[in-house]
Amino acid sequence: MRGRALAAAGRVGSGGPGRWRGDFAMRASRLHLPTLRDPPKDGDTVSHQLLVRGGYIRRVAAGIYSFLPLGVRVVERVKAIVREEMNRAGALEVFLPAVVPAELWQESGRWEKYGPELLRLKDRKNAEFCLGPTHEEVVVDLARKDVRSYRQLPLNFYQIQTKFRDEMRPRAGLMRGREFVMKDAYSFDATVAGAHASYRTMYDAYVRTFERMGLAFRPVEADTGAIGGSMSHEFQVLADSGEDALVACGACTYAANVEKCPSPAPARASLPGDAGPSAIVATPGAKTIDMVCAALGCTPRQMIKAVLYEADGQPVAAFVRGDREANEVKVKAHLGAGLVALADAAWFAKATGLPPGYVGPVAADGSGALGGNGGLGHGGGVRCVADAEVMALTTAVCGANEKQAHRQGVVPVRDCSGLTVADIRMAVPGDPCPQCGAALRGFRGIEVGHVFYLGQKYSQAMNATFVAEDGTEKPFEMGCYGIGVTRIVSAAIEQNHDERGICWPVGLAPYPVVVLPLAIDGPQAATAEAIEAALEARGIDVVRDDRDERPGVKFNDADLVGYPLHIVCGRKAQDGVVEVKIRRTGERFETPVAGLVDRVAAALAAARAGGPLHAAALQ
């Protein structure tokens, strides 16, 4: 097919990687482009609705989608850019199995640890397998089989694969599906310094990758999570609809996930000489911070909020100021616990004898300081941790550890002693930048990439070693690096759409140009065909909307599908003049057909690096 079309056009194809050329799909009537006028019922995320309405994807099951021809093209655009940048960075493409034998996961210990997100299967012999949600095990196995010496290092293997994670709740279309396409890379180095260099190389490659895609993004410092390790950055596409809360400094380059961003420790309040003892007051029915404030005439800032956790099966009470949010990641890090989750209220009550909703850092008998061993609950068995801000309060209101009651006039530095103090709150916009002190600004983001320094976690567990320069056997120093290919498709739309439809960045558009003949015969159609052929000959992917539809239908479909550049062949086509519209800006102007293809080629080439299409270059 390809060869035939190229021959017919009498030229040699020169499409870059990831491009198809020369098939017959560029006529809209042959493109299978089932656009929908009404938004689908399945989900209300903008990008998902536009992908379905624009004829890119169809839902098959929860979190599982089919890609239509146009959808495939966008995915391939993403893959092509990712491949080029990975290859440029010296990574080597491999292709690992989607179905992975259980033994490998048992070896790393994750068969037990990973939980129900890991979709497990059995074959006909009853042997166990899983659908790979990530591929550390497989790639470590690959490396340990063939890499014996430091002389073979460093190595970086990557693949573009369909992953499966049996998410508890798939949502938002491609953004958080169960089946999704991901690029994952794994670096192997002989030394920590080498691993850091590999990390840096990947980081830089990611910056280039997302720039070329025309996305507004920010690399942010991220939590290293269960995996441990010391270095991790997320690449976040900035979008109000994003799931992740970020803070970034306006003055320097610092940016972080709010979970990761350290908060400053304010000075402890000094003990006021004239403070009276705290007292318990009845606050019937006051379940929320706001209700307590209304009842007692205080502000959330003056309150101490208890957040109850279950950490490795043990009850933990975390105290933060009433206007703050507890940061589970920091709590977990502080406790050094393996599993931390918000506690079930009934479980907590049963385990501690304390009334959830009325828990405070001062023992129920009101005698003042807590006992040595944490103090709270029967037997004093509840571990307590307070945010540093709590100890900076001069007086405060907190739960009384009695039902329907709070304690007023609490002086934390005096009354709270059986607890540890740490930074456990969520960072918020306005906090000082940990690097330069300027005020942080808040953003929301969609995580499209993640780079991670792993160290020896997997190589050690799986006994993947090489012989080092000094003759000793050492585990590989590793890093892993993911890019959510299909998620990018969604994220790009979240960031690039308007009320009419998608506004693809040139680098990601399924076709950068659409030609719209407003009549299906006569000079308008002839001009459109000529422009299509000329663009095609220049290696530019183009759709010609040859359908016998009214102009309004074609305009609306073109806007919905989101071709970056529209060439309209209307009445003036017979005089050699067409109209060009830039989808994103809505700019429109008439321009002579003569030389148009050159101008289009130049404008697209300029925009392909990630920049905008400029009207001036097209006129």
Binding site for RNA (CB under 7 A): 35-45, 48, 59, 61-63, 133-134, 165, 167-172, 176, 182, 184, 225-227, 243, 328, 341-342, 450, 452, 480, 482, 484, 500, 518-520, 548-553, 555-560, 568, 570-572, 579, 581, 588
- Measured between alpha carbons, how far is 447 from 494 in angstroms, rounded to an integer? 12
Beta-carbon contacts of 433 under 8 Å, excluding residues fewer than 6 positions away, are 249, 251, 252, 254, 439, 440
Q: What is the DSSP string of 432-499?
A: BPTTT-PBEEEEEEEEEEEEEEEETHHHHHTT-EEE-TTS-EEEPEEEEEEEEHHHHHHHHHHHSEET
Query: CB 482 → RNA: shortest distance, Å?
Result: 3
Q: Smallest gap, in angstroms, from Cβ of residue 540 to RNA?
A: 21
How far is the C-alpha of 229 from the C-alpha of 496, rounded, in Å?
35
Between 387 and 579, name the residue whose CB sits nearer to RNA. 579
Closer Cβ to RNA, 214 or 501, answer by number? 501
Closest approach of Cβ 329 to RNA, in Å?
8
For residue 177, the minimal CB distance to RNA (Å) is 9
Angstrom CA distances, 30 to 69, 315, 504, 511, 560, stand at 11, 63, 22, 14, 18
**Residue 197 or 577: which CB sits closer to RNA?**
577
Q: Tell me whether residue 392 or residue 553 sits nearer to RNA (CB atom).
A: 553
Q: How far is the CB of 464 from RNA (least distance, A)?
A: 17
Cα separation, 173 vs 468, whole angstroms: 47
Residue placing its CB nearer to RNA in the complex, 325 or 423: 325
* Residue for token pair 């379905």: 52
Q: Which residues lie below 8 Å from residue 103, measured CB to CB, with a gap of 6+?
A: none
Pick 97 or 522: Cβ nearer RNA = 522
Neighbours of 32 (CB within 10 A): 11
Nearer to RNA, 43 or 475 (CB): 43
Q: Closest CB to RNA among 48 and 73? A: 48
Of 44 and 204, which CB lies nearer to RNA in the complex structure? 44
Peptide bond between residue 612 and the one before it cis (omega within 30 degrees of 0): no
Of 221 and 579, the one with the shorter C-beta distance to RNA is 579
Nearest distance from C-beta of residue 519 to RNA, angstroms: 6
Q: How far is the CB of 178 from RNA (least distance, A)?
A: 9
Rounded least distance, CB 173 to RNA, Å: 7
Q: Are 21 and 547 in contact (CB under 8 A)?
A: no
CA distance linking residue 242 with residue 176, whole number of Å:
11
Residue positions counted in the chain: 619
Q: How far is the CB of 143 from RNA (least distance, A)?
A: 18
Q: How far is the CB of 18 from RNA (least distance, A)?
A: 22
Sign of CA dihedral 317, 318, 320, 322: negative
Pairing mode, strands 383-387 and 314-321: parallel
Of the candidates 180, 178, 182, the one whose C-alpha atom is nearest the C-alpha of residue 63 is 178
Specify the residue for token string 């005439």.
297
Helix (H, G, I), strand (E, B) or coil at 216: coil
